[in-house]
Structure formats: C-alpha cells, structure tokens
Structure 1
Amino acid sequence: MKRPPKDNEASQKIMTRRGLILGGAQLGLVGVLAGRMRYMQVDQADEFRLLADENRINLRLIPPSRGRIYDRNGVIIAENAPSYRINMIREEADDVEEVIDRLARIIELDPDELERALKDLKKLRGDTPVTVADRVSWDDVSRVAVNTPALPGIVPEVGLSRHYPTGYDYAHVIGYVGPVNDRDLETIDAPDALLLIPRFQIGKIGLEKRREDTLRGKAGNKRVEVNAAGRVMRELERVEGQAGADIQVTINDQLQAYVNSRLEGQSAAAVVMDCENGDLLACVSAPSYDPNLFVRGISSTNYNALLENKYRPLPNKVVQGVYPPGSTFKMVTALAALESGNANLGETVYCPGHLQVSGRRFHCWKRGGHGSVDLLRSLRESCDVYYYEMARRTGIEKISEMARLLGLGTVHDLPMTSVAKGLAPTKDWKQINRDEAWQVGDSVNASIGQGFVLASPLQLAVMSARLATGRSVEPRLIKSIDGVEQPPLPGEDLGLNPRYLHAVREAMFEVSNSRRGTAYRSRIIEETLRMAGKTGTSQVRNISAAERAAGVRRNSDLPWERRDHALFVNFAPYDNPKVAVAVVVEHGGGGSKAAAPIARDITLQALYDGDPPLEAYPAKDRENIEAQQEEYQKKRPNRSKPRQDRA
C-alpha cells in the first residue's frame, strides 16, 4: 500500500537529521585527528623525530659521589678527586678499531688499559660506556673534544675517583676501593646497575668494603641527545642520584700518624683504645702501604714487592694477626684462679726455676727461680712457676672462660675485614681439632700465654680496657654517619670481685713503677699519668734440653724470623684510666726492651694529645725523646685541615 505523502516527508526529515548528526560526528573526528597529526608532525616534530631513532637518545647512569671519611676531629682521610677519562660507546662507533686508531694519534693510550677496554667493549652491551683512557690531562680532554666529529662513540668525561690524602697511615683501617671485577659480581646476588659500569669503584677491604652500602650512594640518570657522529648535543632530562653518606671514625689522625712513625722499621701492631667508651683512637699495622696504588688497579711490580716483603705489609696485624700472648696472659690465669676459689690473695708459691708436671719439667724464664712469690710479685717480676701452679689447680676450662670474659677468643664486631677470633682453647677444642685428649701440660703452657692460646693486638687492648674498668668495654670504630652520632656500648659490669681486680691492677702498676718491675725502665714519670702494664715475650721456637743446658741462645744471635715476639699491654692513668694500649713487635725479642718503650711513648702521646713535655719521661730517655720529636715534626707536619663541603 502506498504510504501517505505526509509519512514520506516525516521519514525523510528523520533520515536527513540523522545524516547530519553522523556526518557532523565524522567531520569532528576527522578534525580531531587532523589536529593531533598537526601537533605531532609540526609542533612536536623534533622530539618525535629523535625518539623514532633509538641511537640518538641515550639513557645514561650518573654515578653518585662516594661518601667521604673523616677522623674524629674532622680531618679528611678519604675523599673524591676529579678524574678525567675518555669513554667509548660501541654502538655509536662505526668501526671500533678505526676509531681507536684515530684516538691513538691524538692522545697516548696505555697498552694494558686499552687491552682491558677492548675486552669490555666486546662483552658488554653496546650502549655501555667503556673507559679507554683514564686519568688523562685536561689538554688531552681538550684535544679529544675538538676532534669528536672524527671520533664517533668517543665521549670525554670528568668523574670522581677515590683519593687517600694521608697515604700509608690508614691503609689497614680504611682499606681502599678498586674497579669492580668478575669475582666481586659473583659474590653479589643482585648487582646494582652501577656495578656493571666498567671501572666503577667499590670497597675492596677494610671500612671501605664493610660499609660499602653506606658509602656508595644511589645512581642518578640522564637522557641525552646525540648526533649521527655520537656527539652529545644536549641533555634532555636529568634525575640526580643520592650521594653516599659521610662516615666519621673514632681514630685521632695526629695520634695515628705518630704511631705509624713510632713503628717505622718494625713488623708490628699497636692499638690505643678509650677506656670509657671503647673508641679506637689509633689502630696501626706496620709496615703499611699506599692505598692509592690500588684505586685503579695496582701494577704487578708494585704488588709483588708488597708480597715479597718479609715484614708482611698487606695483612692488618691488628685484627688479623694472632700471636701467643705470652706473659700478658698472666692476669687472665690469676683472675681465673682467684674467682674459682683455687687461690688466695695472700698465699705464696715457691719458684725454684721450674715445675715438674706429669714427668715433664716446665721452666721459669729465670733459671735460678724467684723463691717464694705472691700474686703481686709474680706479675711484677713475671714469674712463670706461680702461674704453672695456678693452672694445675684451676684447669683450662676456667682459664678460657675468664679469657673470653676479658675479650680474648671472641670476634669483636668491627667494620674491618678478616677480624680474627683468636683462641681460648678447651678440652673439647683439642679433641675436635687435634683428635687428642687435653693434658695437664697443655694447661700449664696456656697459663703463661703459650701453647694453643692465641690473641690479636686488638683483643689484648680490649683485655686491658676491661681490666682497667671492670666493664665489658667493646671496641668502636665508627663515631658518626652523616653527622648522626653512633652510640657507644659502655659495657656492663664484668661481675668480678673488686678485691681481685684491685690486686691485679696494683700488680700491673708495680710492673711499670717498681724498680723490680719488668717495665720499670719504660715508666712514666708524671705522677698523675703513671701507667699499669704487663710485659710479654712469646716464643716462636722450641728450646731443646741440650740448648737449655748449654745456655739459651740470645734473640740477637738468631735469625730475625726465629726471634721471640715482644708484647706489652697497659692502661693509664692508673687512678683514672683513660686509655688502654697494646703493642706487639713481631720477632722483637723481649717485651720489656722492644714493646714497652713504644707503648709508653704512644700512651703519653694519647694522654697529652700531642708531644708530651720531656719531664714526663725518665731522665735517661729525654735526649732520645727530644731527637725523636724533632725528627717526627720534620717528617710529619700538622696535617689538620677544616672539614670541607661535599664536592
């Protein structure tokens, strides 16, 4: 049926309206697209043209500034120095060998350094900057910059490299940094992207290694535009990283320098510890080495020279070196016997020069013996037989328990590498490690710090501080981090009988201040600063019966490596202990001759915070001390300088 005209007209109007709406929508969409295309093609043309070409926009890491290290007074001992280098980015170089050849015509390239760089260029990602020339001069950088159009992929750069301005003085404490190597990466579960940058420096030993996470900081990044030749045209975006935290150590720089100087020419170690809070004021292993040699990779010639030195400059003798403590251990044996009830303060032991134990004769250092001795005299004159008897009564378990209470045979938590535990032996230890039963003779040997007993200079300093205070003082190396003080551990009361502690301290005072004391010649004259100490001599060879009968050979007649170790421990002032000191001189002979004078001089330097007056020394020593002080001032002028702002 034919539709009425009115219906057709209405239908047509509806269709026309719909067509207009649809057409308008289409036209609007086309307009929006056209506007967007114009915006992208005209207004944003430069940016999107660059983004379309990946080789012309690079994202590069910005290494953070490593945290600096200061002494307790703000003297800088590890800093970051500007370092100019020439890097290459493989994917931006047309022909690596050709570009290297052109670069070699402009500046001198080190063959070894270049060989390492070529290996890195082959194995690393193409967009990773690889250093082909390090520590170049500003003139070299300028010449390369001028010629960059002919050197695609070559990027001159200024960065920061670690520098140790005090040289040898802190090598064993602070350690050093060096380039990341494959062995470093193998020990890390998820390496930071920074570590994949060739030649990036991380801590290798010492504080630098133990506090690497604190010192390293976090990387930043930047987006840069480069032209077809690989030359950086502009920086598009930069996100700064986070610098590493500064660390302030407890070491006193002037005292550290003095101790290094005082130990010069020796194979030795010395520790100075604050009795109140455990701060390590000086911590020296001698001889030392220049850590700056290791920062960019030490040469084989220099490294072999260090390895072949019979005085062993590389190990940190303060914490790694363990030695029989000799007679410095006698305070441990005495307290173990007293506290266990196996000895009384007033009793005496007769010393005829030896003690027969289980069919074996154990000799006193004094061939004719000391006669009747009590605790005070036994320590003052270092009678061995008294302690043999104490050990026979007390047993090794009580002796070793006391040793651990006083800080021996335990690992102290310090941010240094290879901190040794030492050894306070027990019956079980010998059974497990030697598959042998413990003998009474083992206890007798241990009573005078020989046999299986081993201690580090650090542990001996801790022992001295604990004897001085009666508290479990712990050594501390870090004073503050980014200005935030790190709380010391004052230590709890050891729980020892005050009468026994007083008796041991009084005997140690006699060692240094009685004419019969083994360290009397190294006493302190100043009344208010007098020290209490103990000498020690530890054998490194067995003395045969034949040699003893013919007369024991003097240390000076023996080859150096067969001479006894010399030890001395002390605290001062006696009435108000401020510092504890331990000195070990490897193969130095007797403790009274080799170690005690060094310890006395170090103690006075610590107490006076500088050169003491000559009146503090015995009259016979003053001329030598004056000459020593003058020589020291010539060689080591005051290095103190104000704290600097971060570069």
Structure 2
Amino acid sequence: MDRDTDRFRLLARRTLLLGGMKLGLASALVGRMYYLQVVESDRFKTLADENRISMRLVAPSRGQILDRFGVPLAVNEQNFRVVVVAEQARDVERTLALLSNIVPISDAEMRRILREIQRRRAFVPVTVKENLTWEQVAQIEMNAPDLPGASIEVGEIRSYPFQSATAHLLGYVGAVSEKELTGDPVLALPGFRIGKNGVEKHHEKDLRGQAGASRLEVNAVGRVIRELDRDEGQAGRDVTLTVDIGLQQYTQDRLAGEQSAAAVVLDVHTGGIYALCSSPSFDPNLFASGIPTSIWKDLTSDPTAPLTNKVIAGHYAPGSTFKMVVALSALEAGIINSRTPVFCPGHMVLGGHRFHCWKKGGHGSVDVLGALRHSCDVYFYEVARRLGIDRIAETARRFGLGSRLDLEIPGERPGLVPDRAWKLANLGKSWTQGESLIAAIGQGYVLATPLQLAVMTARLVNGGFAVKPHVTRQIESGWTEQTVWPSIGVSQAYLELVKQGMYQVVNAPTGTAYRSRITEPGFEMGGKTGTSQVRRITMAERVTGVRKNEDLPWKERDHALFVGYAPMSAPRYACAVIVEHGGGGSAVAAPICRDLLIEAQKRDVARDAPPQVAQMPAGDGGAAPRPVGPPIANPGAARTEG
C-alpha cells in the first residue's frame, strides 16, 4: 500500500513538473508572440513594406532655354524607344531579328543588347533603340503580336530647334561621366544627361531640377507588380537669354560664306549679348542622342575647329583695332594732343631695324585723327616709342583686354596684354623698345578674343563705363541684367576724339573702311579695321615684293578684323568680327560687321513695348524669324594694311 502511494506521489510530482514546464513554454511563446505582433508590429510592418515596396527615382524634366522674346532655343521632346524583356520574349534573338526589319540594328548594337540581357535579370527591360520615328513606333505597335517581349516606352530627349545657329552659345547635353558624379542620385540614373558645354553647362543646376520618386510594389525576386504612387519631382527652371534668335541666325548665316570666322554683337550699355556666333558650327542634337564615332572624328580633325567657340576661345593678334587703346593711352599721358603731327615716310628706323607701315610710300604728316583714319603704323610706332609698354598695358586692361570677362559660357580664354614684368617673369628676358612698337599696332605678344574686342569698343563708345558681357537675362524670376557700371576713368574729351577717328575710318572718303559704310540715314556706324599677320615677312620679300594674300596657302594668310558700333548719334550696339586668314579687314570683315549692325538696328523696335513670342521656325537654317518686341538690347613683324 505504501509502495503504491509513493509511486502515485512520484508520478504526480513529475506530472506537475512537466505541466509547469509546458505552461512556462506556452507563456513564453504567448509573450513572444505578443511582443512581435503587438509591441513590435509597426517595425515589422515597415520591414515588410520595404521588402514589398521599391522606391525608384524619376528623372526631372529639364528646364527650357529661351531667347529674349520667349522663343524656345532648347526644349524637351518625346523620345520613343523600344525595349525588350527577356522572360517575355522566349526567343530574344528571334525578336531582335524581327525588330531589325523595322528599325536598323547594327551588329555592334546587337552584341551590346545581348550582353545587357545576360547581365540583367530576365524581367528587367533592355533598351534596343532610342529616338524612334512615329512611323517606326506605329509599325512596332501594329506588329506587337509577332514581337513577344518588345514594347514602346516614352521618355524625353533634349532638342535644339535652331541646330548649328545656337551650338556654341547653348552647348549641348551628354551622358554623365564618372568624374561628374557628385553624389546626387539622379546623376546615376541610366541615360540621364547633363550640360557639357555652353549655357547648358553653366546653368546646369538651374536647368536640371529635382528628381521625383515612384513607389512600386514588387514580389520576392524584385519583379514589378504595380505602381502605388508617383511624385514627378520638380522640373528644372527656364533660363531666358539676352540673345535675339533672329539676329543670331542672321549672323550665323552671314559668317557661313567664310571658311572660318566669328562675330559678336552686344549692347554697349547693359552688356547683354544679342548674337554670338562661331563658324563653322555643328549640330548639337547629335550629342543629345549620342554622336556617331565617324562624325566625332570629322569634327575633331577639321582644321577650321568647328567645336571651338572662337568668340571666347580664339586668341588673335588684334592688329590695328588696338590702335584706339594706344591713342587714348598717349592722350591721357600727355604724349600727344589732337593736333600733334608725326611724319610717315613709309617706315621707321629704330636700333638698326626698319619697321614698315602698311603703305609703302607712307602717309606724310598725320595727326591722331588722320592716323586712325588711314591706320598709319608709323604714327603709332612713334607714339609707343615715347609712351612705353607699361602705360599702354594699363590702359588696355581698363578696356577689358588681357583677362577673362566671366561670360556664362565655359571655355573663355584671357587673351594677353604684355608688359615688362610679364616678359621677365614668363620669358626671363628684358623688354625691348622694338617690342613696344610692334605691340602698338596690335601685333607681337598682344592677343585678344573677339568678345574682348567688342567689350573694348563698347567701353569706348558708352562714355567710358566698365560694362561686362553676359548672356543670361532671367532665370524663372528675378532679372539679372545690370545697367549701372563703374567708370574706367577716361576723359570724355579723349573718348569723343577717338570716336571721331572711328567715324572717319568708315565715313571719310579716305578712310580704310569707306566702301563698307552704312548709307541709310540714322543707321551710320563708326569702326576700325584690323589686319593680323600670322607669318613674318622677310627682308627679301620686302625687296622683291610682298606676296598677296590670295597667292598664299590659306593657313598663311592674314586674319581680317573689324570692330564697329552704331548708330553714330546714340551708340547702342558694338560688334567685333574676325575672319581667319581672310586677308584685309577693310575688304572682308568690315562688310560683315556693317550688315550685322544694319540688321540689329532694323530689329530695334520700341524698347519698352511688352515682349511677344514670335512664331518659331522649323530650325532648318532658313530665313531668320522677326520677333515682335524690344531687343534690350601670333608674333609677327610690321605688316600690311590696317
């Protein structure tokens, strides 16, 4: 009996212990479930959603670039592309072969597509071809049942409706390189493009905008099930330029008759640029979609450098266009006055060296007006001998020469205004007096860009104010144009005297540019011719006769330059023209400048009228549109004709 009682008690204790353990385990399980499902429910719901929901960036729409009248210069167009999803295609190569009957697919493109398909998951779309025409899109859609896995997607591509006329001004967009990745995640998006040159690059942050986001529901392997919601982000801001596209087109067309040339027209009071053209040019639309290798090689190997913006990056000896600066420097220093005569026999001898005037027989006795009118070299040789290079350099810098002008277009070069300190620091040699003579006629070490020459002219005719050039007029809101500029400290009397000389250059019968004068009343211009030598004329040539430009190889011909302003009564426009290896400035560059100044004035309607958008042309290089509204506006020796 006692044995049975002991056995029962032992079994009861074991049962109780086992039951307690089970109760403890059950309690722990219930507690853990409560903790996970109640206490931590929000966190695990978030984790589940993160596995279920994929966030993807949405590229923002790029801002437009407009001319001063609101005419679009850079826009976004629909970009139709065909993509292939491998898991839907079943036989990818067959689908691609059928697609090639509708859109051309090269062998290299075919290899690229197959490589991408192998690297990516089967459900990820791979781009086959971009920039499809509407006809190609229609054919693909019509044949969709026979093209398993192929579909059409719609994106945006940058387009430049005026093509080559705005290439050097606007620049272009291109794919993001590794060194351009700044941490902004939108830059890493496939196919995203940023400004590579011109206004597109300078205003990249404004034009780019801010990326949006798309919330997608995906399954366990990442396949998209549906889009939950979408934020388009913030589109880029529009940028309005000072440029008048009508004048811009006219300028580009006018330069097209020369092998290589550049021109710029700006407002002498605000500095706003109305036209900035370099020729030959290129089609920036090629870069937006990916330029073919063959075309890239042609552009980079062309001796006329179509990719170079010669207005801001072309370094040229300014030739006789520099003589106004020398005259003003001498007047300020008291070296000459309006009546100081210098006799020109056709040459000047200094230290056993003969420095020639462009006119072999000389100009006789001339004062400063006569020296400018005839572009007499000997007069300026003598002035430079008395004046010295340092005072010439100081005056030149006040007129915008020798340093960058900070235009909103990348690639601007500074030019060069030499002095004694510069030569000693850079060449380790002392300055010679003969080098001052050569510098006085805009040769030797002196270098300038067409933009600097236009600014020099603007500061000379606007009353001596340090106007700076710009192409940006407005960014969405808030005007950027400056109309009040500091004085460069030159006497008004001296400026008027030199302006009178520039008037005589064009309008006096003996002026070097008389044949290019503007005869229309109220449109008259003043200006200065320039010829820049690119080769040294030997003494043997002096004896036997200097070869004419037309008898020389193109690369050895002189550059032709001209700077001008109009109208004479109230100067508003300044213009600089360079024709590379064009010969004399009076015969080649002056007529171009004349035509540009006439066109600018013809387009000059009531300044305070509200701007109205003109009808935008197809951009095929045809006749310039007429917007309605206000246009706010190499070392060498003594040389040939100024």
- Give the TM interval when normalised to the shorter protein: 0.7 to 0.9
Deviation at 1:265, TM superposition (A): 2.8
Deviation at 1:358, TM superposition (A): 1.9
Question: Structure 1's 537 and 594: CA in aligned 2 closer, same or farther, altered over 3 A?
Answer: same
**Deviation digits for residues 319-365 of structure 1, max 9, x if unmatched?**
00010000000001111111122222221111111111222110000
User: 2:191 aligned with 1:199, yes or no?
Assistant: yes
Query: Structure 2: how far apart are the matches of 1:101 and 1:126?
Result: 14
Query: Structure 1: how far apart are the matches of 2:412 and 2:120?
Result: 36
User: 2:84 aligned with 1:84, yes or no?
Assistant: no
Q: Note the 1:331-480 alignment, pairs <5 A.
A: 331-469=324-462, 470-480=464-474
**Deviation digits for residues 178-218 of structure 1, max 9, x if unmatched?**
1223xxx2144x33212212221111111111211111111
- Residue 638 (structure 1) aligns with: 625
Worse-matched range after superposition: 520-529 or 170-179: 520-529
SS at match of 1:592: coil
- Residue 266 (structure 2) aligns with: 273
Query: Structure 1: how far apart are the matches of 2:351 and 2:113?
Result: 68
- Residue 11 (structure 1) aligns with: none
User: 2:515 aligned with 1:499, yes or no?
Assistant: no
- Residue 137 (structure 2) aligns with: 138
Deviation at 1:639, TM superposition (A): 7.7
**Contact 1:110–1:133, Cα closer than 8 Å, also in 2:** no
Q: Partner amino acid for 2:352?
A: G
State the identity as a percent.
46
SS at match of 1:362: strand
Q: Note the 1:231-246 alignment, pairs <5 A.
A: 232-246=224-238
- Residue 611 (structure 2) aligns with: none
User: 2:161 aligned with 1:168, yes or no?
Assistant: no
**Normalising by structure 2, what TM-score?**
0.83
Query: Structure 2: how far apart are the matches of 1:340 and 1:546?
Result: 38
Deviation at 1:132, TM superposition (A): 4.0
Q: Partner amino acid for 1:529?
A: F
Query: Structure 2: how far apart are the matches of 1:125 and 1:401?
Result: 67
SS at match of 1:243: coil
- Residue 15 (structure 1) aligns with: none
Deviation at 1:380, TM superposition (A): 0.3
Query: Structure 2: how far apart are the matches of 1:50 and 1:87?
Result: 31
User: 2:581 aligned with 1:594, yes or no?
Assistant: no
Q: Note the 1:527-546 alignment, pairs <5 A.
A: 527-546=521-540
Q: Partner amino acid for 2:197?
A: I
**Contact 2:522–2:567, Cα closer than 8 Å, also in 1:** yes
- Residue 248 (structure 2) aligns with: 256
Query: Structure 2: how far apart are the matches of 1:158 and 1:426?
Result: 59
**Contact 2:246–2:624, Cα closer than 8 Å, also in 1:** no
**Contact 1:130–1:198, Cα closer than 8 Å, also in 2:** no
- Residue 62 (structure 1) aligns with: 58
5+ long unaligned stretches in structure 2 = 1-26, 606-618, 630-642
**Deviation digits for residues 487-531 of structure 1, max 9, x if unmatched?**
325321221011111110000000010000001111111232211
- Residue 610 (structure 2) aligns with: none
Question: Structure 1's 240 and 488: CA in aligned 2 closer, same or farther, altered over 3 A?
Answer: same
Q: Partner amino acid for 1:80?
A: N
Deviation at 1:57, TM superposition (A): 3.9
**Contact 2:162–2:621, Cα closer than 8 Å, also in 1:** no
- Residue 510 (structure 1) aligns with: 504
Q: CA RMSD in A?
A: 3.4
Deviation at 1:59, TM superposition (A): 2.1
- Residue 628 (structure 1) aligns with: none
Worse-matched range after superposition: 594-603 or 393-402: 393-402
**Contact 1:538–1:566, Cα closer than 8 Å, also in 2:** yes
**Contact 1:474–1:489, Cα closer than 8 Å, also in 2:** no
Query: Structure 2: how far apart are the matches of 1:204 and 1:116?
Result: 25
**Contact 2:561–2:590, Cα closer than 8 Å, also in 1:** yes
Q: Partner amino acid for 2:263?
A: A
SS at match of 2:447: coil
SS at match of 1:528: coil
**Contact 2:249–2:621, Cα closer than 8 Å, also in 1:** no
Question: Structure 1's 525 and 326: CA in aligned 2 closer, same or farther, altered over 3 A?
Answer: same
Question: Structure 1's 566 and 550: CA in aligned 2 closer, same or farther, altered over 3 A?
Answer: same
Q: Partner amino acid for 1:223?
A: R
Query: Structure 2: how far apart are the matches of 1:634 and 1:142?
Result: 34
- Residue 299 (structure 1) aligns with: 292
Worse-matched range after superposition: 273-282 or 102-111: 102-111
**Contact 1:351–1:371, Cα closer than 8 Å, also in 2:** yes
Query: Structure 2: how far apart are the matches of 1:609 and 1:418?
Result: 30
Question: Structure 1's 147 and 239: CA in aligned 2 closer, same or farther, altered over 3 A?
Answer: farther
Question: Structure 1's 132 and 231: CA in aligned 2 closer, same or farther, altered over 3 A?
Answer: farther
**Contact 2:123–2:223, Cα closer than 8 Å, also in 1:** no
- Residue 517 (structure 2) aligns with: 523
SS at match of 2:274: strand
**Normalising by structure 1, what TM-score?**
0.82
Question: Structure 1's 210 and 49: CA in aligned 2 closer, same or farther, altered over 3 A?
Answer: closer
- Residue 10 (structure 2) aligns with: none
Query: Structure 2: how far apart are the matches of 1:240 and 1:532?
Result: 54
Question: Structure 1's 583 and 34: CA in aligned 2 closer, same or farther, altered over 3 A?
Answer: closer
Question: Structure 1's 81 and 141: CA in aligned 2 closer, same or farther, altered over 3 A?
Answer: farther
**Deviation digits for residues 409-441 of structure 1, max 9, x if unmatched?**
110111212101000011122122222211111
Worse-matched range after superposition: 384-393 or 303-312: 303-312
Query: Structure 1: how far apart are the matches of 2:359 and 2:475?
Result: 52
Question: Structure 1's 370 and 49: CA in aligned 2 closer, same or farther, altered over 3 A?
Answer: closer
Deviation at 1:640, TM superposition (A): 5.9
Question: Structure 1's 483 and 119: CA in aligned 2 closer, same or farther, altered over 3 A?
Answer: farther
Question: Structure 1's 208 and 255: CA in aligned 2 closer, same or farther, altered over 3 A?
Answer: same
- Residue 16 (structure 2) aligns with: none
SS at match of 2:596: helix
SS at match of 2:278: strand
Question: Structure 1's 196 and 445: CA in aligned 2 closer, same or farther, altered over 3 A?
Answer: same
**Contact 2:315–2:447, Cα closer than 8 Å, also in 1:** yes
Query: Structure 1: how far apart are the matches of 2:214 and 2:288?
Result: 26
State the structure with bigger RCO (CA 8 A, min sep 6), 1 or 2: 2
- Residue 552 (structure 1) aligns with: 546
User: 2:323 aligned with 1:330, yes or no?
Assistant: yes
**Contact 2:176–2:193, Cα closer than 8 Å, also in 1:** yes
**Contact 2:272–2:481, Cα closer than 8 Å, also in 1:** no
5+ long unaligned stretches in structure 1 = 1-25, 612-631, 643-647
SS at match of 2:191: coil
Deviation at 1:636, TM superposition (A): 1.9
**Deviation digits for residues 139-190 of structure 1, max 9, x if unmatched?**
4764797689x64xx8753110000011110000100011223xxx2144x3
Q: Partner amino acid for 2:252?
A: N
Question: Structure 1's 220 and 263: CA in aligned 2 closer, same or farther, altered over 3 A?
Answer: same
SS at match of 1:390: helix
